[in-house]
């Protein structure tokens, strides 16, 4: 029963609560027949199908939300970088912590904003932005490693940026769950 509530919470990020409850119930019933690995594989496949269906249902909206989210995150992250580097006398460790907090706060606020603006498509935009952002960070890291050997400071900055996807998705998920209390 515990798995069903987790699955319902995951699926409800991309569909209505009633539909998520129905799908979670069907998958939970089949879990006893097919096993736990089958169950979680189908949960993730169903979640991916709901995500792509949301994107395909309104591609212009998804693109606009993605652009809005990117602009919002970059603006807030740049403001954080500017604020941290205005004080060059700060210890590098303190600077890194502050920069991480600014970036993660910017990511969280971006997720909250996207789902607040468009409850139906916001979570799909958050996931798209998170995956795209992670791919860009990894590509930039590979390019910079090829150009110059990484040092401790650049590795810390990269790690901070890489973990920004978690607060982005958490912010979107929190708002999505709060806006779904009444049955859809």
Give the count of domains, the chain: 2
- The 10s digit of each residue's pLDDT in 43-88 is 999 999 988 888 888 888 888 988 999 999 989 888 888 888 888 8
Taking residue 107's Cβ as centre, other Cβ atoms within 10 Å add up to 30
DSSP per-residue letters across 163-178: TTHHHHHHHHHHHHHH
91 plus 158 within the same structural domain: yes
Average pLDDT, the chain: 84
- Residue 184 in any domain: the answer is no
pLDDT at residue 1 greater than cutoff 60: no
Q: Alpha-carbon torsion 112, 81, 134, 63, what sign? A: positive
**Do the beta carbons of residue 7 and residue 27 sit within 8 Å?**
yes
Residue 45 confidence (pLDDT):
93
Query: Percentage of the chain with pLDDT > 70?
Result: 93
Residues 50 and 64 in one domain: no
Domain assignment of residue 46, given as a range:
2-55
Average pLDDT of the residues in 145-152:
70
pTM of the complete model: 0.81
Q: Same structural domain for residues 77 and 137?
A: yes
The verdict on residue 153 lying in a domain is yes
Q: Are residues 49 and 63 in the same domain?
A: no
pLDDT band at 112; cut points 50, 70, 90: very high
End-to-end CA distance of the chain: 22
Is 22 part of any domain? yes
Q: For 38-68, give the DSSP string.
A: HHHHHHHHHHHHHHHHHHHH-HHHHHHHHHH
């Amino acid at each position: 029963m515990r798995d069903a509530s987790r699955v319902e919470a995951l699926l409800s990020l991309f569909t209505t609560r009633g539909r998520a409850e129905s799908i979670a119930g069907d998958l939970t019933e089949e879990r006893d027949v097919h096993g736990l690995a089958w169950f979680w594989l189908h949960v993730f496949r169903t979640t991916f199908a709901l995500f792509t269906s949301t994107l395909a249902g309104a591609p212009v909206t998804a693109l606009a939300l993605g652009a809005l989210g990117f602009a919002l995150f970059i603006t807030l992250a740049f403001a954080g970088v500017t604020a941290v580097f205005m004080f060059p006398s700060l210890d590098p460790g303190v600077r890194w912590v502050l920069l991480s907090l600014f970036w993660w706060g910017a990511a969280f606020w971006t997720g909250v904003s996207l789902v607040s603006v468009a409850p139906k498509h916001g979570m799909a935009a958050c996931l798209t932005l998170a995956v795209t952002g992670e791919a860009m960070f990894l590509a930039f890291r590979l390019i910079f490693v090829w150009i110059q050997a990484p040092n401790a400071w650049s590795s810390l900055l990269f790690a901070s940026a890489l973990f920004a996807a978690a607060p982005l998705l958490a912010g979107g998920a929190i708002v999505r769950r709060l806006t779904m209390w009444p049955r859809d």
